[in-house]
Amino acid sequence: MIRHTVAFRLKHPAGSESEATFLADGQRVLTAIPGVRNFEALEQISAKNSFRHGFSMEFDGQAEYESYNNHPDHVAFVRDRWIPEIDEFLEIDYVAYLPG
């Protein structure tokens, strides 16, 4: 299982309609892509970093993750929404740590 997470700061003002629309559209578009499981749109509550939001989702394996990354709806979302509307982001992809 792969957990794909991205923390980000939008160019839109906090609490704005544009912010809400971006988050709702992201959830709508990305959850419709085959292989996406356990999607969450998240809001940061800690003062320890400046990223206000996050998206988190899981994939059964590398093939599903690659299919998601190359899916036309994901590519279009990144091109048409993510790049123009995101100020800064940090992407982290996890697999479970298995000691030994």
- Domains of the chain, earliest start first: 2-95 (3.30.70.100)
Of 13, 95, 2, the C-alpha closest to 53 is 13
- Beta partners for residue 93, in sequence order: 4
Token pair recorded at residue 42: 């998240």
pLDDT digits (tens, 9 = 90+) for 13-53: 999 999 999 999 999 999 999 999 999 999 999 989 999 99
pTM attached to this predicted model: 0.91
User: What pLDDT is attached to residue 100?
Assistant: 77
pLDDT band of residue 91 (cuts 50, 70, 90) is: very high
User: What pLDDT is attached to residue 58?
Assistant: 98
